[in-house]
């Protein structure tokens, strides 16, 4: 008989700060991620949201799904606007005109984070603004037609890096944005996925308590762009973690913690075969990706292991 310990109940607020009725695609992992994030954030936040899927689906005039103060910004200046809001709150507090302990939260997709907005993000992290930056990574510019971004994984087929007779699709490896954020020596950097909801919400809760910048990188499965059935969103996210393609870890004051470790990773092909964007890959290319994933996961485990001694 299985241990009853695994059935310990965990309570989550029923309050929705990202309300239903938005226009997200069926099975959207990004909308689920934002819903969970907002539950963990609570009411006392100001959200600064880049142009992208979540901005489009959540704010068609005159409706909104946001139950907290929310600002729409451009792709390139999300972190800059969040910096200004945070600085403004500091000034008001210094003048005795604002007493709430409000957290500023910036949200952007992989395009708004790893590509167009990386300059503003780097500046905000370097200046040490007290805010949370959340990258909702669905691995392409899904809002505008599934164009490749620097977060698109090697071998994935997109509309601007299509697979064909002379191309395997994306020809560069996924940009390691958590490592780039960590290189700024900020207090808290993590990866997360809504397929592991309590891990995601716990990390958001920890980020709320951090003084200084936090960077949260969330894998957000996109059934439309990834070419998979909408009922496999959670399964795809779990396979990304179980194969080591998207490991879940924390970097706190430069110390690594691997949140989910496995004695043996599942083969990457278990993850690929669910998705149409990888169906063209040959055994040789899959083997190449497998070797890369295994090597990167080994390096991550070594960093986490060193922290235990």
Cβ 80 vs Cβ 36: under 8 Å? no
pLDDT tens sequence across 23-67: 999 999 999 999 999 999 999 999 999 999 999 999 999 999 999
Instruction: Using DSSP, state whether 225 is helix, strand or coil.
Output: helix
- Identify the structural domains of the chain with CATH numbers, from first to last: 4-306 (3.40.50.970)
* φ, ψ for residue 256, nearest 5 deg: -90, 140
Per-residue pLDDT tens digits for 207-250: 999 999 999 999 999 999 999 999 999 999 999 999 999 999 99
Query: What's the mean per-residue pLDDT of the chain?
Result: 95
Instruction: Please tell me the pTM assigned to this model.
Output: 0.95
Helix boundaries (H) for the chain: 29-41, 53-58, 78-94, 110, 118-127, 177-182, 197-209, 223-226, 233-242, 268-272, 283-306
Give pLDDT tens digits for 157-205. Answer: 999 999 999 899 999 999 999 999 999 999 999 999 999 999 999 999 9
- pLDDT at residue 12, as a whole number: 86
Q: What is the pLDDT at residue 95?
A: 96
CA distance 286 to 220: 22
Whole-number pLDDT of residue 7: 53
User: What pLDDT, in 10s, does the model give residues 79-94?
Assistant: 999 999 999 999 999 9
Q: Which residues neighbour 189 within 8 Å (Cβ) at sequence distance 6 or greater? A: 178, 181, 182, 214, 215, 217, 250, 251
Q: What is the DSSP-derived secondary structure letter of residue 214? A: E
Tens digits of residue pLDDT in 257-267 = 999 998 899 99
- pLDDT, position 1: 36
107-124: average pLDDT: 98
User: Is 80 exceeded by the pLDDT of residue 4?
Assistant: no
pLDDT at position 10 over 50: yes
Question: How many angstroms separate the CA atoms of 84 and 55, rounded?
Answer: 20
| Residue 138 near residue 221 (C-beta atoms within 8 A) | yes
């Amino acid at each position: 008989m299985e241990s009853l310990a695994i059935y310990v109940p965990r309570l989550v607020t029923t309050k929705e700060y990202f309300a239903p009725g938005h226009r997200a695609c069926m099975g959207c992992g990004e909308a689920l991620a934002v819903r969970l994030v907002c539950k963990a954030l609570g009411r006392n936040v100001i959200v600064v949201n880049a142009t992208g899927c979540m901005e489009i689906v959540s704010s068609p005039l005159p409706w909104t799904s946001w139950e907290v103060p929310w600002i729409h910004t451009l792709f390139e200046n999300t972190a800059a606007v969040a910096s200004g809001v945070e600085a403004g709150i500091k000034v008001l507090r210094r003048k005795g005109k604002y007493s709430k302990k409000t957290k500023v939260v910036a949200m952007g997709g992989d395009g708004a984070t790893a590509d167009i907005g990386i300059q503003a993000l780097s500046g905000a992290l370097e200046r040490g603004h007290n805010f949370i930056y959340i990258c909702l990574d669905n691995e392409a510019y899904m809002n505008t037609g599934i164009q490749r971004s620097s977060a698109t994984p090697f071998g994935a087929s997109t509309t601007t890096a299509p697979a064909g007779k002379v191309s395997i699709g994306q020809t560069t490896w996924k940009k390691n944005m958590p490592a780039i954020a960590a290189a700024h020596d900020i207090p808290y950097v993590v990866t997360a996925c809504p397929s592991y909801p309590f891990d995601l919400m716990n990390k958001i809760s920890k980020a709320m308590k951090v003084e200084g910048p936090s960077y949260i990188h969330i894998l957000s499965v996109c059934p439309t762009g990834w070419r998979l059935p909408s009922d496999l969103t959670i399964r795809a996210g779990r396979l990304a973690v179980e194969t080591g393609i998207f490991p879940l870890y924390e970097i706190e004051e430069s110390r690594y913690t691997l949140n989910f470790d496995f004695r043996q990773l599942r083969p990457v092909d278990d993850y690929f075969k669910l998705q149409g964007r990888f169906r063209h890959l040959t055994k040789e290319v899959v083997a190449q990706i497998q070797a890369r994933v295994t090597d990167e996961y080994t390096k991550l485990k070594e960093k986490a292991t060193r922290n235990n001694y």
